[in-house]
Chains A and B, each alone.
Chain A
Amino acid sequence: MSQFALEVKALTKTIGKKTIVDDVSFQVERGEIFGLLGPNGAGKTTIIRMIVSLINRTGGTVLINGHDLDDSFTEAMNELGAIVENPEFYKYLSGYKNLKHYARMALSDISEERINEVTELVGLENAINDKVRTYSLGMRQRLGVAQAILHKPSILILDEPTNGLDPQGIREFRDYLRLLASQGTSVLVSSHLLSEMQLMCDRFAIIEKGKLIHISSMHDNETSEARKVKTIEVELSNPTLASKLLTEHMTDVKVTSSKGTRLTLSVRKEQIPMINKLFVENDIDVFEILNVKATLEDRFLEITNKDKKEQMV
C-alpha cells in the first residue's frame, strides 16, 4: 500500500502548440477530500480526464494507490472510481442493471449483497428496479456515487459533481463524501463553485491557465490565521475620530475601508482588546466587533488577482 491514494507528477497536456495543462503535480492522502479549484477553462477537467485515462497524457505520470497508469493500467484503474461531469447511464435499463453492468467490469467479484449494500447507502432501494429514464437528476447523481464506489476504490474522482443539483441534493452529496472519507476513501473533486469547495474539501489546489498556482489546506485558513493579520469590522459611534486615534496610537493597524459607521480593519488578534480599550477610553461607543472570515473565494480571488498583477508588472 502506497502512502498516497493518488500521486500526480508533472502532468502535461499540449494540443498542437497550445499547452492546456502545464507541469501539474500534487498528492492526495488517504481519507482526504482534495479539491481542484479554478475558473472555467482553467484545465481542471483535462487534468481529471488524464487521471482517469479518458484523455492521453502528453507528459507526466499518474500513480493510483501506488500503481503506475502506464505500467499497470488495469490494477491502477481498479483502484479508481469516478463520475465525470454528469453521471450518464443506460436510461433504458433499470438502476440495478446499470450497477450490475459496472459490477461485471470490476476485476474482483462483486456480490449481489455488495450491490444491495451500496444501493442502500445512497438511498435508492425503492427505485433501483425502475428504469433510469424515470430518475430525477438527484437520483442519477446518487446512482453515480453508487457505481463509483461499488468496487471499493481507494480514490473517488469527481468532476464538477454538483452541477445541476439543487441545494438539497448538494447537501446530501456532501454528506456522502464526508461519510466515504471517514471510511478511508480519498476523494479528488473539481469545481468552479468556490463556496461549495470550502464546505467540502480538506485541502485544495488552485488551477489557473493550466498551471497549479497554489496548494493549501482549509485548516491553514483557520488556525494559522490567528497569528496572522486578520480582518475585523467594527461598528461605532464616531468613525472619523476612531480612524484618527488609530493612525496616531496604533500605527500597524490598517483601516482598509469605512462605510458609514462601520470600519474595516487589518489587525492581529492580540490587538483587538487594545483597540476596543482605546475607543472606550475616548468615549466612542462600540456596538459590534465582527470577525470577517476570509472565505475561500476571497483567497481564490486574492491569489489569482495577485498572479494577474504580477503578470502585468
Chain B
Amino acid sequence: MIPLIQNELMKIFGKMASWIYMIVIVLAVLIAGIIYSKFSADPNPNWKQDTQNEITMLENQMASASGDEKKMIQNQIEQTQQFLDQDINPNAKTNWHFMNDVVVGVSSLVTLFVVVVGSANVAAEFSDGTIKQLLIRPHQRWRILLSKYIAVIIYALLLVLTLIVSGYIIGLLLFGSGDFNMKMFEITLEGRKVAIVGTQFLLKMVYFIPSLLIIMTIAFMLSTLFKSQALAVGIGIFVLFFSSTLGGIILMLADKYTWAKLLIFPHLDLTVYALQDRILEDITLPVSLSILAVYYAIFMMLTFFFFQKRDISI
C-alpha cells in the first residue's frame, strides 16, 4: 500500500498546480494580514480609561434621554461595562486575534484547492487515458483507489498545515507575539460570549477538518463516478460556497419538516459549534457528527463499489 501512496503523492506533487495552490494560500494569508493591520484600529494602551470615559458619556446622555432611547443607552452601557469587567481590550490586535478572525476565513481557499486536486486525481486518469495502464497492475482496484484517497488527504492536511504555519508566522511578523490565553468576545446568535482567543482558533481548525474531509470526499466520489473533473469541481465549489446559505434555508424549513434536519447542508460547517452549542433545539455537535458520518459512509461505499465494478473502455 505504501508504494501506491508514494506513487500518488509523486503524481500530485509532479504537477506545478499543486505547489501553486500552496503559494496562493500563503499569499492570501499575507494579503489578509496586511489589510487587517491597515484597516482595523490599533490597540489602545489606555483603553480602560477611554472605555470608562465612554460609559460616563453614555450615562450623561441617558440622563437627558427618555423612554425607548433610555433603554437602548442602558443596554449599550452594560455591554461596554463587560469589557471592563472581563478585562478585555475591545480592539486588541495580536497574532492570535489575526489567526482567529482572519486565517480561519482563508480556510475555504484550502477546501477549494483540495476539491480541485481531489477531483483531478481520479478524473485526470480517465481523461488522460492513464487509468488503463494503472489498473492492469497486480493490485485490486479498491487498493489503488484507496491509495489515491489517502494521498489526497495527505495533501489536504499539508494545505491546512501551510495555512496554520503561514498564519502564525505572518501574524507574528505583523502583530508581534500575543498571549494565547487572552480573553475575547465572540459574537454568536445567542449574544456575546467570552472565549480564549488561542483555544477558539484551534477549536475552529479542528471543526474545519470534518467539513473539509466531507467536501473532499464528495468531489472524489463525483470524479470517480462521472469521470469528469469539471462536474466534480463545479459541484464541490457549489457545496463549499452555498452550503451555509442552503443550510440556513433548510434550518428554517426544519420547523415544518423534521426530515430536513437530516439533509447534509446544515451540518457541513461545523465551525459554528465553536461559537454555539447547538444550531437547532435538538441538533448539537454529536448529532451533526453522526449525520455526517452516515453520509460519509454512503459516499465511500458508492465510490469504491462503482470503481471496483466499472468497465474501463476509454
Which residues from chain A sit less than 8 Å from chain B, CB to CB?
Answer: 49, 52-56, 73-78, 80, 82-93, 97, 100-102, 104-107, 147
Partner of A107, one of B11, B14, B136, B138: B138
Structural contact, A101 and B128, CB atoms closer than 8 A: no
Give the interface segment out of B182-190, B242-250, B306-314. Answer: B306-314
Structural contact, B139 and A97, CB atoms closer than 8 A: no
- Say yes or no: A90-B130 contact (C-beta < 8 A), given A49-B312, A56-B309: yes
Q: Which of chain A's residues has its CB closest to B124's CB?
A: A90
A63 to B285, CA, bound (A): 53
A255 to B129, CA, bound (A): 53
Partner of B311, one of A55, A73, A105: A55
Structural contact, B140 and A106, CB atoms closer than 8 A: no
Q: How many A-B residue pairs have CB under 8 A?
A: 79
Partner of A54, one of B7, B15, B135, B138: B135
Partner of A78, one of B4, B15, B138: B138
Which of B7, B133, B309 is the most central at the interface, judged by chain A CB atoms within 10 Å of its CB?
A: B133
Which of A49, A54, A82, A100 is the most central at the interface, judged by chain B CB atoms within 10 Å of its CB?
A: A54
In the complex, which residues of chain B have a beta carbon less than 8 angstroms from the beta carbon of A91?
A: 128
Q: Shortest 3 CB-CB distances between A and B: which pairs? A: A88-B129, A104-B3, A78-B138
Structural contact, A55 and B4, CB atoms closer than 8 A: no
In the complex, which residues of chain B have a beta carbon less than 8 angstroms from the beta carbon of A90?
A: 11, 14, 128, 130
- Say yes or no: A105-B132 contact (C-beta < 8 A), given A49-B313, A93-B11: no
Q: Which of chain A's residues has its CB closest to B3's CB?
A: A104
Inter-chain pairs besides A56-B309, A102-B137, A105-B7, 20 sampled, C-beta below 8 Å = A49-B311, A73-B140, A74-B139, A75-B138, A80-B136, A83-B133, A84-B133, A88-B128, A88-B129, A88-B132, A90-B14, A91-B128, A93-B10, A93-B11, A97-B10, A97-B14, A104-B6, A105-B139, A106-B138, A147-B133
Subset of 10 A-B contacts with CB under 8 Å: A52-B136, A56-B309, A56-B311, A77-B136, A77-B139, A89-B130, A90-B130, A93-B11, A97-B14, A102-B137
In the complex, which residues of chain A have a beta carbon less than 8 angstroms from the beta carbon of B136?
A: 52-54, 77, 80, 82, 84
A78 to B4, CA, bound (A): 15
Which of B4, B130, B132, B311 is the most central at the interface, judged by chain A CB atoms within 10 Å of its CB?
A: B132
Task: Tell me the minimal C-beta distance from A95 to chain B in angstroms.
Answer: 13
A77 to B313, CA, bound (A): 18
Q: Which of chain B's residues has its CB closest to A55's CB?
A: B311
Structural contact, B4 and A105, CB atoms closer than 8 A: yes
- Say yes or no: A84-B11 contact (C-beta < 8 A), given A74-B140, A105-B4: no
- Say yes or no: A77-B133 contact (C-beta < 8 A), given A49-B312, A55-B313: no
In the complex, which residues of chain A have a beta carbon less than 8 angstroms from the beta carbon of B129?
A: 85-86, 88
Please report which residues of chain B, range 14-44, place their CB below 8 angstroms from some CB of chain A when the two chains form the complex.
14-16
Task: Tell me the minimal C-beta distance from B245 to chain A in angstroms.
Answer: 37
Task: Tell me the minimal C-beta distance from A137 to chain B in angstroms.
Answer: 14
Partner of B133, one of A55, A73, A88: A88
Structural contact, A101 and B7, CB atoms closer than 8 A: yes
Q: Which secondary structure characterizes the binding site on chain B?
A: helix
Structural contact, A87 and B133, CB atoms closer than 8 A: yes
- Say yes or no: A104-B7 contact (C-beta < 8 A), given A74-B138, A84-B133, A91-B128: yes
Which of A73, A104, A147 is the most central at the interface, judged by chain B CB atoms within 10 Å of its CB?
A: A104
Task: Tell me the minimal C-beta distance from A146 to chain B in angstroms.
Answer: 12
A88 to B3, CA, bound (A): 21
Please report which residues of chain B, range 44-92, place their CB below 8 angstroms from some CB of chain A when the two chains form the complex.
none
In the complex, which residues of chain B have a beta carbon less than 8 angstroms from the beta carbon of A53?
A: 135-136
A102 to B15, CA, bound (A): 18
In the complex, which residues of chain B have a beta carbon less than 8 angstroms from the beta carbon of A74?
A: 138-140
A147 to B16, CA, bound (A): 24
Structural contact, A92 and B138, CB atoms closer than 8 A: no
In the complex, which residues of chain B have a beta carbon less than 8 angstroms from the beta carbon of A104?
A: 3-4, 6-7
In the complex, which residues of chain A have a beta carbon less than 8 angstroms from the beta carbon of B133?
A: 83-84, 87-89, 102, 147
Structural contact, A101 and B10, CB atoms closer than 8 A: yes
In the complex, which residues of chain A have a beta carbon less than 8 angstroms from the beta carbon of B313?
A: 49, 54-55
A49 to B311, CA, bound (A): 9
A89 to B128, CA, bound (A): 8
In the complex, which residues of chain A have a beta carbon less than 8 angstroms from the beta carbon of B7?
A: 101, 104-105
- Say yes or no: A54-B132 contact (C-beta < 8 A), given A97-B10, A104-B4, A105-B3: yes
A56 to B307, CA, bound (A): 12
Task: Tell me the minimal C-beta distance from B132 to chain A in angstroms.
Answer: 4
A234 to B138, CA, bound (A): 58
Task: Tell me the minimal C-beta distance from B16 to chain A in angstroms.
Answer: 8
In the complex, which residues of chain B have a beta carbon less than 8 angstroms from the beta carbon of A55?
A: 311-313
Please report which residues of chain B, range 121-161, place their CB below 8 angstroms from some CB of chain A when the two chains form the complex.
128-130, 132-133, 135-140
Task: Tell me the minimal C-beta distance from B28 to chain A in angstroms.
Answer: 25
In the complex, which residues of chain B have a beta carbon less than 8 angstroms from the beta carbon of A100?
A: 10
Structural contact, A92 and B312, CB atoms closer than 8 A: no
Q: Which of chain B's residues has its CB closest to A45's CB?
A: B313
Task: Tell me the minimal C-beta distance from B5 to chain A in angstroms.
Answer: 10
Task: Tell me the minimal C-beta distance from A165 to chain B in angstroms.
Answer: 17
Task: Tell me the minimal C-beta distance from B251 to chain A in angstroms.
Answer: 44
Structural contact, A105 and B137, CB atoms closer than 8 A: yes
A112 to B25, CA, bound (A): 37
Which of B6, B136, B313 is the most central at the interface, judged by chain A CB atoms within 10 Å of its CB?
A: B136
Q: Which of chain B's residues has its CB closest to A108's CB?
A: B138
